[in-house]
Every structure is written in C-alpha cells, then in structure tokens.
Amino acid sequence: MSIARTVNPPSSGTGERGLGPGPGLGPTVQAAERAFVDHFGRAPQWLAAAPGRVNLIGEHTDYNGGFVLPMAIDRYAIVAAGVAVDGGGGGSGSPSAGAPGGAPGGEGTEWQPRIRVYSTALETTVDLPLGPALCPGEPTWANYVRGVVSGFQRRGLAPPSLDVAIVSDVPLGGGLSSSAALEVATATMLEAATGGTLDDREKARLCRQAEHEFAGVPCGLMDQLASVLGDEAGALLIDCQFEVVRLVPFADPNVSVLICNTNIKHALADGAYSRRRGECAEAARQLGVPTLRDATPEMVDAARGIFDPVVRRRARHVVTENVRTLAAAQHLEARDFGSVGALMYESHRSLRDDFEVSCPELDVLVDIASEIGVPGGVFGSRMTGGGFGGCTVTLVRTRHVAAVAERLAIEYHRRTRCNLTHFVSRPARGAHIIDPTEAS
Ligand code: GLA
C-alpha cells in the first residue's frame, strides 16, 4: 500500500507551544478579531470557537458503531464574522465596502450574495458565492466552509452575505481534528448569523457531512462530536451507534496528557482510510452483523475459516479496541492510570499490526515512551487519530512531563532524524460563541 507522506517542517505558530497548560483561548481569539478588523475594516459581530481533539483510545471504531474516548484539547479554530456591510442583498454594483480585496465580481457587474473568507494561515481570501447548490472546488481549504454552509442551506437556514476571518492553533494534518474544529466553528458562527440553533448531534452530523461531501473523507462522527461537546472536566466516552456521550471526569493535576507530533503529515483522503472502512464493512457482512459493533473477539476468532486474513485482522482490531475502550473509560474514572496506560500500548500494537495504520515514526515514539516506562513517569502511549503520521498521545505523571518530553524529542531525532513538537493539553470546552467584549 502506498501512502503519500510528507514531512512538515517543525512548526512555529501552529499551537505547539511547549509544556505546561496552554495560554487558553485568549490569544487566538484576539488574533482572529485583529485579523477581521485589519482585513475588513470593522469589528466582527460574532466570534465562534471550536476545539480540536485528542483521542485517548478507541481508534477506527467510530464508523463501525463502536466506542471512542476523545478529549477536546485547548487548541481552537476561531471564526470571526460579520454581515457584509452592504447588507447582503444582491443587485448590481453593491460591493462590500471596506474589504481590501475589492468588490466581488468587480465594478458594474451583478453582485451575488457571497461569503468572503480570509484565512490568516494562508493569507488568502476567497469569495464563496451563495448559490442554491454549493459544490466542492478550489481552493480546497475553503471546502470545509462551503460544506458547512451547504448543510445550513439544506436545512432551510440560508446565511446572509458574510465576511469571515479564520485563525486556528490546532496543528494542521496532525490527527488532532483541525478540520473538524474549522467545520464546527463555522457551524457555530452560522447558528449565530442565521438565528438558527441546531441540536448538538445534528450539528456534528452536519459537519461530518461536509467532511464527506466536500473534503472527500468518509470519516465517522467522533471528531465533530468531540469538538461540539468537549468538556473541561474530562474525556467523552461516545457510543457511536446510538450517539450517546458520557463525560469521564479525570481532572487530576498529577497526570498530564502529552501530545507529540511526529511532523509526518497524514493524508486520509488518499484512499487508505476508505479502504479500511470497506474492509470493516466486508468483515461485518461475512460475520452476518450490521456493523462490527455487534461482533465480539470470540466471533471473529471462530470465523477464522471464512475470512480473508487481512479482513480478519481489521475486524480483530475493531472488536478488541471496543473492549479496550470501555475498560479504559472505567480505569480512567477510577484514576487507575497504570491500567489505562497498558490498554493504550495494546491499542497501539493492534493499530500497528492488525489495522496497519501506524508508521515507523509513530512506532518509534511509542517505543521510546515504553522504554521510559512507569519508573520514568510514563503510564502509556499510542498513536492517536486516523494514523499514517500525526501524533501520539501519552499519559504522563505531571512532575515528569518536562523530562519525558525532552527525552522523547532527543531520542526521536536520534532514531528518525525528524523533529518532534509537543504540548500538554487539558480537557477543553466544546464549541461556543465568545462575547466580543470578553475577547479584548
Ligand atoms: C479520523 C476520522 C475519525 C476516526 C479516526 C480514527 O480522525 O475523522 O472519524 O475514524 O480517524 O479513529
């Protein structure tokens, strides 16, 4: 299987600010507000925030109706927006005053309702016409916004013409759901701009549909639900079949969640992700169950004869991961971090050997973490997110976290010649509107 992989340069300004709790939302919100003011010449009416997530355990189970245990992280996509100053009506020659990018369509041409989006990361502005049937297109980064707008339109919530500025400190392409954060922040802003309120699950589903139809990634619902429902008190145990979410509190100052970025960029849209989905669906079909949620490790074992070995390994990962995830949630709640850590290592091995979505750099990081082990303050470690690069998540005793991170960075570079970036995150609050007066 050939997987396109690119090595990101070590990041600066991508939210990987080192150890200790992050600076919180403030600086990112202020950056978004400033970007809006600089670009559109007035203050935004709405500031919407949505976090990325790190998945503690339960990988590639969401689209199989299984269990996941993500935690929203204190890295956010912020969408600053205001109604276009011409009021958003159509008609000829009614440009959006104050926009340095110039009037859509140029002087004297028919002006269409549109959403003008400025990305600070790319320093690019794009106009998305608000036609009746939005389609994915260029530039591709704007497809997340197009997709969410389209979801609102389909639900009869037509947005007015808007100016929008986007700032995010969720590392891009690191398996921390930077795209879900952008989708959910956009949806949260559109709720305010249209006056429509979506049920939390419906909002997550709308954003997942945007990812499916406009970004071409047939993902499950974990990332979007975690971004909508994130809670500062802990992780979320999500039953993906029934979309039932339970808070698993684990606020313990002695334990830190360390996120390490291999800086190998994953590419879920390259087909590997959807192939895994297909293999899981095939396994369920052969087992005679609607989804792998309804299968057990014993069933997969007993069906040895009928399975293609690859399909069988995929199924084995999913059914054992479901068991691990439920057990990990119990141990987390009981503050039995040693047992959570052991399950994290098992999960990594299963993802590496049975599901085959790890990569050498992720394996090296998990190996180093396990070499440090409990005596050095590490409870457990695993890859997190879709795989093929991105990040590991490591549960570390807080007083060891600086030493652990340093050893990981040095050893990672020695063994791979790649640079590691890392940060610690607390569980974070899910998507919300920020009062602009609070931001400044
Ligand atoms: C990506 C997808 C999620 C989930 C994970 C793997 O993050 O967006 O829906 O499938 O991969 O657990």
Give the CA-trace dihedral at 380, 384, 388, 389, to 10 degrees: -80
Q: Give the closest residue (by CA) to ligand 1 atom 9.
A: 220
State the closest ligand 1 atom to the C-alpha of 62, by its place in the atom list counted from 1.
Answer: 10
Q: What token pair was written down for 155? A: 């639900």
Residue 22's pLDDT is 62
Rg of the Cα atoms in the chain: 22
At 372, the amino acid letter reads I
Listed as ranges, residues in the chain with pLDDT below 70 are: 1-23, 86-111, 266-269, 436-440
State the distance between the two ends of the chain, measured CA to CA, in whole angstroms.
Answer: 50
pTM of the model: 0.90
Structure tokens of 117?
């989006």
- The DSSP secondary-structure symbol of 104 reads T
For residue range 287-311, list pLDDT tens digits in order.
Answer: 999 999 999 999 999 988 878 999 9
**Token code pair at residue 105:** 């369509």
Active site residues: 223
Two structure tokens written together for 174:
């690191």
Q: What is the pLDDT of residue 130?
A: 92
Distance 60 CA to ligand 1 centre (A): 6
Which DSSP string do the residues of 106-124 spell out, in sequence order?
-TTSBPPPEEEEEETTTTE
Are 212 and 219 in contact by the 8 Å Cβ rule? The answer is yes
Q: What is the pLDDT of residues 80-132, one digit of tens each?
A: 999 998 654 443 333 343 333 344 444 445 568 999 999 999 999 999 999 88
pLDDT value of residue 24: 76
pLDDT reported for residue 277 = 97
Distance CA 386, CA 222 (A): 11
Longest dimension (CA), the chain: 72
Cα–ligand 1 centroid distance for 361 (angstroms):
19
Distance CA 176, CA 369 (A): 20
* Token output for 194: 């249209």
Binding pocket residue ranges, ligand 1, CB within 6 Å: 59-60, 62-63, 219-220, 222-223, 385-386
- The alpha carbon of 228 and the centre of ligand 1 are apart by a number of angstroms equal to 15
Helices 178-194 and 200-214 sit at what angle, rounded to 10 degrees?
A: 120
pLDDT at 306: 76
Q: Distance between CA 286 and CA 303 in Å, rounded?
A: 9
Beta strands in 17-161 (DSSP E): 46-55, 67-68, 70-83, 114-119, 124-129
Residue in 54, 61, 62, 317 to alter for ligand 1 test, most ligand atoms within 8 A of Cβ:
62
Distance, CA of 63 to CA of 367 (rounded, Å): 28
